[in-house]
Amino acid sequence: MNRTPDLHHIISPAVRDLVELANLDNFDRVTEQVRNLRGCTRPVNLVGWTATTDPATKTVLRSYSTADEPTGRLLTACGNRRSSRCPACSRLYAADTYHLIKAGLSGGKNVPEAVRTHPRVFATLTAPSFGPVHNRPTTSAGKPRPCRCGTHHPEDAPELGTPLKPKAYDYTGAVLWNAHAGALWARFTTYLRRELAAQLGMTQKALNAALRVSFAKVAEYQKRGLVHFHAVIRFDGPDGHTTAPPAWATTDALTHAIHAAARRAVLVVESDTTGDRRIAWGKKIDVREITTLGDGELTDQAVAGYVAKYATKSAEDSGTVDRSLVCHPCAGRGYLRGPDNFRDLCTDCDGTGQAEPLKDLRVQQHVRQMIRTAWALGHLPEFAELKLWKWAHMLGFRGHFSTKSRAYSTTLGALRDVRHAWRTAQAQARAGLPAPDENTTLVTECSWQYLASGYRPGEELLAAQTRHDTAQARDQTERAKTEGDPWL
Ligand SMILES: [Zn+2]
Ligand SMILES: [Zn+2]
Ligand SMILES: [Zn+2]
């Protein structure tokens, strides 16, 4: 007779797997690995080893191998920036971005505190209009007015940002604008320096020797599917944030130069098929001074918070899909070349070049039309370098979501290194190992291989627990903040 209950019938596969994990030699290590991932949705599974030797004595000082792990592998966080992919890693990314932006505004993390006295502004540059869209306009006094269609749209209305007359909307212009938004920004920064030199009556060379313009920017999608940029723009001395800008470099001069440079920066895109297009910024340019301390003003913290929030957003937030639409086997061409060098229709996509038919995408009609336009323009040789098939799901935008100039502040990499070093030191202290002697040059060898992504079903349960604990701790901190609890 079988004395143990038949688990196969009464519990879920995840619980069964958890029981299996619990019976391993070192279950504590299993839970520790999962806890270290801080709730990551799809961790990367690695196998491999690393060993550190002293070349003089040839003794192995430290070694680690996944063969010694209870599950034979190491789980590492996916590190994805996008909240739609991994809320936990995206939150960490947002926190890092916050500190990076904040350091560039108020100092800290190796940035001198004097940086807060440098003139700096928060600027928003948007795309021009490509046809009227449904919106929620207000009067100059801030009172809501009806949309041009005659309705008062609620805040979450799906039609917001979509064209009033889709047939008359300039989709080609909209997609080409997104595709050149990064280049337009680059052009703007060049003009910004030129404008400053002109304003101050200096040569470009003299200006560069005395002043540096540092910036950190994020791209965000508007409801109408066009990207816009938010940027912290700051004056520094010639060596970046460590040096003060000259006294004549004022916030007013910066504000004026931004407006002038935004008006002047124009790209001309030539095409016989679509006609030549001027790529320029829209008229709505917002430039606001960032204050150190404020009552209702735009403060360091507020700006860092905005930027961090935007940095984890992605194209999906404007209702598009989160994956490339290019058919993998034929790279979007729709055909493959056979051994006879003749074109064979790609059987994966039936010659469309698309990984999934655009008409089947679960997106709004407006978004589908942006994607379709990007795809159609991708066939034109003059736009080949824009790689519009690859970026069709991004509605043409192929730039980076967050970028900063080298001198702005610390880097995300540096923040990650600090965290990594801290964790390593912690782990070593736990293992009773001495900290490495800084005077000897040790040799570290390693070999790593990607195994898979995701958790075992039992680990998934442990991860859910971690997420629950983290969320509770976060709620408590938030509550303490709002209630002003002196004990937290
Ligand atoms: Zn993750
Ligand atoms: Zn409307
Ligand atoms: Zn194909």
Give the residue-averaged pLDDT of 245-255: 91
> Is pLDDT of 151 > 60?
yes
Residues 285 and 376 in one domain: no
Q: What is the pLDDT of residue 427?
A: 59
Is the per-residue pLDDT at 405 higher than 60? yes
**What is residue 1's predicted lDDT score, i.e. its pLDDT?**
46
**Who wins on pLDDT, 8 or 45?**
45
> Which of 50-59, 189-198, 270-279 shows the lowest per-residue confidence on average (mean pLDDT)?
50-59
In angstroms, the CA 110 to CA 100 distance is 11
Same domain, 406 and 429: no
In this structure, which ligand is nearest to the CA of 325? Answer: 3
Residue 485: the pLDDT is 40
Q: Which tokens in the block code for residue 155?
A: 């805040």
The Å distance, Cα 153 to ligand 2 centre, comes to 7
pLDDT of residue 47: 86
**Separation of 355 CA from ligand 3 center, angstroms?**
7
Confidence category of residue 340, pLDDT binned at 50, 70, 90: confident
Residue 342 has pLDDT above 90, yes or no: no
Compute the distance from residue 359 Cα to the ligand 1 centre, in Å: 31
Whether 64 and 97 map to the same domain: the answer is no
Q: How far is the CA of 346 from the centre of ligand 3 (A)?
A: 5
Q: What is the pLDDT at residue 447?
A: 81
337 Cα to the center of ligand 3, angstroms? 12
Say if residue 188 is in the same domain as residue 286.
yes
For helices 457-483 and 27-36, what crossing angle results, to 10°?
50
Amino acid (1-letter code) at residue 77: A
483 pLDDT above the threshold of 60: no
User: pLDDT by residue (tens digit) across 298-328?
Assistant: 777 888 887 887 777 766 667 788 788 999 9
Distance 90 CA to ligand 1 centre (A): 7
147 C-alpha to ligand 2 centroid (Å): 5
464 alpha carbon to ligand 1 midpoint, in Å? 13
Q: Within a domain: residue 147?
A: no
**Do 377 and 424 have their domain in common?**
no
pLDDT mean over 126-151: 92
Whether residue 243 is found in the same domain as residue 118: yes
CA dihedral sign of residues 177, 230, 287, 146: positive
Looking at the structure, do residues 118 and 245 belong to the same domain, yes or no?
A: yes
DSSP-derived secondary structure letter, 450: E
3-state secondary structure of 108: strand
User: Would you say residue 296 lies in a domain?
Assistant: yes
Residues 298, 428, single domain; the answer is no
Ligand 3 midpoint to CA 356 (Å): 10
- Cα of 132 from ligand 2 centre, angstroms: 9
Spell out the SS3 assignment of 15-52: HHHHHHHHCCCCHHHHHHHHHHCCCCCCCEEEEEEEEE
Does residue 106 fall inside a structural domain? yes
User: Which H/E stretch holds residue 341?
Assistant: none
Q: Quick one: 193 and 112 in the same domain?
A: yes
Q: Residue 486 — very low, low, confident or very high, per pLDDT cuts 50/70/90?
A: very low
- Here the tokens at position 84 are 């739609």
| Percentage above 90 pLDDT, the chain | 35
Answer yes or no: do 239 and 299 share one domain.
Answer: yes
418 located within any domain: yes
Q: Which of the ligands is closest to the CA of residue 84?
A: 1
In the reported structure, the alpha carbon of residue 169 is separated from the centroid of ligand 2 by a whole-number distance in angstroms of 14
Domain that holds residue 303: 87-130+170-319+398-410
Q: Please choose, from the candidates 406, 403, 410, 405, the residue with its C-alpha nearest in 3D space to the C-alpha of residue 112.
A: 410
Ligand showing the shortest atom-to-Cα distance for residue 40: 1
Average pLDDT over residues 382-410: 83
Domain boundary among 359, 382, 410: 410
Average pLDDT over all residues of the chain: 84
In a domain, 289, yes or no: yes
Residue 348 inside a domain? The answer is yes
Q: What Cα–Cα distance (Å) separates residue 7 from each residue in 4, 10, 17, 23, 30?
A: 8, 5, 11, 14, 22
The answer as to whether 149 is a domain residue is no
Give the pLDDT band of residue 424 (cuts 50, 70, 90).
low
Give me the pLDDT at residue 102, please: 81
Write down the pLDDT at residue 242: 83
Last residue in a domain, options 361, 386, 410: 410
Decide if pLDDT at 226 tops 90: yes
C-alpha 80 – ligand 1 centre gap (Å): 6
Residue 323: what pLDDT?
81
Specify burial of residue 1 (Cβ count, 10 A radius: 0-12, 13-18, 19+): exposed
**Residues lying with their CB under 5 A of ligand 2, a single-atom ion:** 134, 147, 149
Compute, in angstroms, the gap from residue 446 CA to the centroid of ligand 1: 24
How many structural domains are present in the chain?
Answer: 3
Beta bridge partners of 75: 45
Residue 102: inside a domain: yes
CA 229, 234, 237, 241 torsion-angle sign = negative
CA of 335 to the centre of ligand 3 (A): 6
Tell me, what's the pLDDT at 58? 80
pLDDT-derived band of residue 59, with 50, 70 and 90 as boundaries? confident
Q: How far is the CA of 89 from the centre of ligand 1 (A)?
A: 4
Domain endpoint, select from 410, 439, 455: 410
- What pLDDT is stored for residue 6 in this prediction? 59
**201 and 309: one domain?**
yes
Query: Does residue 367 sit in the same domain as residue 460?
Result: no
Ligand 2 midpoint to CA 341 (Å): 53
In this prediction, residues 396-424 reach a mean pLDDT of 71
Section 119-124 average pLDDT: 92
At 2 the pLDDT is 47
pLDDT of residue 488: 33
Give the pLDDT of residue 487: 38
**pLDDT band at residue 368 under the 50/70/90 scheme:** very high
Give the residue-averaged pLDDT of 79-93. Answer: 82
Give 225 Cα–ligand 2 centroid separation in angstroms: 16
